A and B are shown apart, each in its own frame.
Chain A
Amino acid sequence: MNKLKGIFKHYIVRRLVSYFFTIFLAFTLTFFFFRLVPGNPIGAFILSMQQRYSTGVLQSSEGDIVERYKEMFGLNGNLFTQYVRYVKNLARGNLGPSLTAFPTPAQKLIFESIPWTIGLLGVSVFISWLIGLLIGVLIGWKRDLLLSKVIAGLAIFFSQIPQYFFAIFLVFIFAYVLFVLPSSGAYDAFLRPGLYLKFIASVLRHAILPSLSIILASAAGWIISSRALVISILNEDYLIFAEAKGLRPFTILRNYVMKNVLLPQVTGLAISLGFIMNGAYIVEWVFNYPGIGRLMTNAIGILDFNVIQGVTLLSIITVLTANLIIDLILPLLDPRVRSGQ
């Protein structure tokens, strides 16, 4: 007993160490990568400021101005000092000002985009998981029906199509041929964001096409994997025994089949949710949806380091945290591990 507990404790410690180490490694790699990109964001920034306000006045002391702005964006000094400074600021929750919307801090832009991405992707990922699980289990259970074979074939077909192909297709049909749903944005521009019925209805209407494109693409994947899981256990002895006992098919499906499918699929769902912050960049781009993906696409266009770095770090942490939670909770859910304790 105690020995097992010791092993488990050892496992948790090791898992936590690798969690923090991987965050550190991935963050450091991306940090130096971004800073080594041969672009000149400050020059472009000053140019755009000059064009917007007064031209010519700034030219005399251009060198000073470049230095000042570099300091403001944390781009002065060598790479290593930049790195140390960034980590120090990060510890205080400061990601630095954004170039896109100067002088708004990057973290503010990111936090404004997060709800849209979580709302769109979180809901879509969950719905596609649920649909995929139910359909996959049913067509695996009744795999000899013609309908099951047709659905399985369609699922293979759909699973090979990137989400944004569905997005393009759906926009074409529903926004430009049938004119029934909006083609872009997250809500009607004339509405002021707030918690009232008209706004919520507008948000939902705008979310239908983007989420449908994510659901169509990813439900297919869940159908295929759930079906394969069911088929892999159909010939197990305990199912044959349950049938021999005279249990009703539905009881077998619920108590024996579902149990075996659920554990790996819940793990899969958690992993997918972990990738939420990686966003659906291209779907957001097609719909001009104001989530993390659009923020990032715009930021990359002008090399807005602080926003790019902030979003990247957020993605890294989300993915790793989801995996950490799975690795720590899964042993507790698995009866084989539980009985060992």
Chain B
Amino acid sequence: MKQTQLDPKLIIGGIIIFFLLFLVLFQPLLNKAIIGDTNPLTVGIFPMYEPPSLRHPLGTDRFGRDILALTLLSLKYSLIVGAIAGAISTIIGIIVGFSAGYKGGLIDTILRGLTDTILVIPSLPILMILSAYVKALNILTMAIILTIFSWPFSARVIRSQVMSIKNAFYVDLAKINNMSDFEIIALEILPNLLPFLGVSFAGSVVGAMLAATGLEVLGLGPSGITTLGMMINFAIGQGALSMGKWNLIFPPIFMLVLVFLGVQLVNMGLESTYNPRLRR
């Protein structure tokens, strides 16, 4: 028998994601190595608009802040916003998706109506209004705003997965054994869906980060912190493009592309590993 081979996409995507997680986990240490004990957001420590050098690998910005240190801190906050939003929408998705998929009926009808309606409402203007007019926009409120448009889709894909295995023989067996609905869901269906829920979570994180970046690039980011999208907005506002300062604008873009690409590669790799029809 042929041994199951790991898809190269899965390996590359996995390496990218581990690399990013490494950067986030060791951000305090990396920060120390780059600029010592100072907060990357502190203004005026270094000369402004330094070109890349050994001391500042990506140079400094208009306020004399080290761009590499700033990018690493922004990456951390961007991922945190995405992770919180992804977690909330996956949890709501699990609750609603399981009840709709397993029980069907009214919840199912409402869920379908809701997703159909939300799909046609232009989401960006709504998100823009919310982030512009919600008082005290911070990481958490930003994440909650982002979930408004994402949880119904998590719920819908989870629902279809639940539907596809709720008639499996082991579920029937559990029913014969007089297990309650809750037991069946918690002990039989949920464990079997765990890998899928992981993928669904990663997808929600990326979706939330995409939406967040769009808002932040337009200048509607949370206050008091820095994220990758806010760095882009800031760089454009400073005229980085017209001054030809690539080192101000491309580091945050590069990081975001890495995140999106990494998750997408892992998704595709998993799919072709678990769905033999796609493998050749």
Q: Is the CB of A22 within 8 A of B241?
A: no
A165, B214: Cα distance in complex, Å? 10
Are A165 and B253 in contact, with the CB atoms below 8 A?
A: yes
> B63-83 interface mask toward A, CB cutoff 8 Å, 1 = contact, 0 = none?
000000000000000000000
| CB proximity of B211 to chain A, nearest CB, Å | 10
CA distance A30 to B120 in the complex (A): 11
Q: Are A301 and B132 in contact (CB under 8 A)?
A: yes
Q: Given A183-B241, A308-B125, check contact A22 B218 (CB 8 Å).
A: no
Cβ contact within 8 Å between B236 and A30: no
Given known pairs A172-B241, A176-B244, the reply for A300 and B121 (CB within 8 Å) is no
Residues of A contacting B243 in the complex (Cβ-Cβ under 8 angstroms): 176
Is A278 at the interface (CB under 8 A from chain B)? yes
- On whether the beta carbons of B236 and A168 are closer than 8 Å, the reply is yes
Q: A282-308, CB under 8 A of B: which get 1 and which 0?
A: 100110000000001100110100001
Decide if A319 is an interface residue (CB 8 Å cutoff).
yes
User: Which residues on the B side are within 8 Å of A171 (C-beta)?
Assistant: 241
Evaluate contact between A22 and B264: CB separation under 8 angstroms.
no
Whether the pair A278, B124 counts as a contact (CB closer than 8 A) is yes
Known: A160-B260, A176-B241, A177-B244. A26 touches B133 (CB 8 A): no
Q: Which residues of B contact A176 (CB under 8 A)?
A: 241-244
Q: Which residues of B contact A303 (CB under 8 A)?
A: 129, 133
What secondary structure prevails in chain A residues at the interface with B? helix
Interface string of B230-273 (1 = CB under 8 A from A): 00100010000111101001000100110011001100100000
With A168-B253, A172-B246, A282-B214 known as contacts, the answer to whether A157 contacts B128 (CB < 8 A) is no
Q: How far is the CA of A156 from the CA of B268 in the complex (A)?
A: 10
Q: Which of A165, A308, A312 contacts B257 (CB 8 A)?
A: A165
A residues less than 8 Å from B100 (CB atoms): none
Is the C-beta of B122 less than 8 angstroms from some C-beta in chain A? yes
B125 touches A25 (CB 8 A): no
Q: State the Cβ distance, B51 to closest chain A Cβ, in Å.
A: 16
Nearest CB in chain B: distance from A143 CB, A? 8
Are A22 and B117 in contact, CB atoms less than 8 angstroms apart? Answer: yes
For residue A311, which residue of chain B has the nearest CB?
Answer: B125
A247-290 vs B, Cβ < 8 Å mask (1 yes, 0 no): 00000000000000000000000000000011001100110000
> In the complex, how many angstroms separate the beta carbon of A212 from the nearest chain B beta carbon?
16
CB-CB under 8 A from A300, the residues of chain B are 125, 128-129, 132
- Residue numbers in B under 8 Å from A26 (CB-CB): 117, 120-121
Known: A162-B210, A315-B121. 19 other contacts (CB 8 A): A22-B117, A30-B126, A156-B9, A160-B257, A168-B253, A172-B241, A172-B249, A177-B244, A183-B242, A281-B218, A282-B214, A285-B217, A285-B218, A296-B125, A297-B218, A308-B129, A312-B122, A316-B122, A319-B119
